Structure 1
Amino acid sequence: MKSSEITEEFKKKGFKSFRTEGKPPQIKDMYETARDYYMDFDKIRGERQNSISLHGNPGTGKTHLLLAVSNNLMSKRGIGVLYFPYVEGFNDLKDDFDKLEQKLNRMKYVDVLFIDDLFKPARGKPRATDWQVEQTYAVINHRYLNHKPIMISSELSTDEICDIDEALGTRIFEMSKDYTVLVQGDRRELNHRLED
């Protein structure tokens, strides 16, 4: 738990604290997919399809559910997870080039890597510099080749990720295709933060 880089607030996120009542079916589907992934993890861990990716509107609970998976994997099964918030994580990597290789190696070799808000858009455009794409590809490709699980949340669909880098997007899809959900629609219905 200490080395996961998950904040104290995020360590409180669990399946029980995620609300599905009164929410559209897409939210319930996302919840059930995350639960199924956690329950199936030991069985699929070494397989090609051993990952999960949740895509779509902000505020739908993608991060909450993947933190619930992370927290349960760590606390109940003793499996190491590294939380990497895409925007802040790349800012840190850029600011500390001396430790770049060490940090990237940690992302490559940790039991489970959770990349939160992959290519998070700013003003409608994905944040994906050539350098960010190159580093992300290096990490994902290493994990792909070595059957190491990833968890991805992104406001972008699989197709939009493929538009940025097809080799990267198709690897993520292949790894997580059994546990992929896209949530799109009216933000007033889907965004937990806009309730009431």
Structure 2
Amino acid sequence: MISSTNKTVPEVREYRCNICKDEEGYIERLKNSDDPFDYVEIWRDCECVKERVSERLMKSSKITPEFQKKTFGNFTQEGRPPLVQDAYKAAYNYVRDLDDKNVPNKSIALLGRPGCGKTHLLMAISNNLIAKRTQVLYFPFVEGFNEIKSNLDSLETRIHQMQQAQVLYIDDLFKGRKEVTDFVIEQVFAIINYRYLEKKPVLISSEKTIAGLCEIDEGIGSRINEMCRDYKVMLQGGIELNYRLQ
């Protein structure tokens, strides 16, 4: 008689990190003396933690996968006008000048003509900051306020998030053909003024100049001007600045 036994094959678990087995850390034993049995145990954070933190920050930033690809390395400089080169240098230097905790201590504004690469360069800054485990919250002005207006119950929460974010990126500030409403001005002032008083950095792109921002609201424009004094580029000129028309 031939007998057979059914053996259960143990499930092989796949770990993302084989060092810490996805525990994000491990216990390391260190000798405390010459006695081989005398040792202390110390918890060590695994290297994979840095990657996981960056991933969580990227997910919470609201930056789309396409924008996550924007870097300084894939920004086209060759043949671009000097003002665009100035914008690149300002953005690059902004990351270079981070403090010891990889947090900006000032703000940056790239203002002026569309198609100059303002969004690309500020996205490159954002992606660099997130890779260094600094929180960035991305707020596309038009889409963001459309969402707020469609759900006013979220207004207080959204404004609070933008006030409190470690770094806030407002893209295309005051973009739109219609006149800016008092409601929008009031909310933008609440965000900018809070961050101005608390010395919290903001990244701003806009087709408006500082003068144009001040025409909408001088309190907003003057605060942005002061916050971004060391990292501010005004991209004014003709269509030669717009790479989309080349």
TM-score by length of 1: 0.92
1:176 aligns with 2:231: no
Could you say which structure has the higher helix fraction? 1
Give the Cα separation in 2 of the matches to 1:79 and 1:36: 17
> Where in structure 1 do 4 or more consecutive aligned residues deviate above 4 Å?
43-47
Match of 1:17 in 2: 74
Q: Name stretches of at least 5 consecutive residues in structure 2 with no aligned partner.
A: 1-57
Q: What is the one-letter code of the residue matched to 1:148? A: K
Match of 1:68 in 2: 124
Give the Cα separation in 1 of the matches to 2:231 and 2:180: 24
Give the Cα separation in 2 of the matches to 1:55 and 1:128: 18
Match of 1:131 in 2: 183
User: 1:1-196 alignment to 2 at 5 Å?
Assistant: 1-42=58-99, 45=103, 47=105, 50-75=106-131, 77-122=132-177, 127-187=179-239, 189-195=240-246
Question: Helix, strand or coil for the counterpart of 1:119?
Answer: coil
Q: Name stretches of at least 5 consecutive residues in structure 1 with no aligned partner.
A: none
How many residues align? The count is: 188
Give the Cα separation in 2 of the matches to 1:45 and 1:8: 23
Q: What is the one-letter code of the residue matched to 2:117? A: G
Moved more, 28-37 or 96-105: 96-105
Give the Cα separation in 2 of the matches to 1:121 and 1:178: 27
Q: What is the one-letter code of the residue matched to 2:186? A: E
Q: What is the one-letter code of the residue matched to 2:148? A: L
Match of 2:15 in 1: none
- Over aligned residue pairs, what C-alpha RMSD do you find? 1.4
Change (3 A) 1:94 1:121: closer
Q: Which has the larger radius of gyration?
A: 2
Q: What is the one-letter code of the residue matched to 2:143? A: E
Alpha-carbon displacement from aligned partner over 1:153-172 (angstroms, at most 9, x marks no partner): 00000011011111111111
Q: What is the one-letter code of the residue matched to 1:64? A: H
- CA shift, 1:17, in A, is 0.7
Q: What is the one-letter code of the residue matched to 1:146? A: E
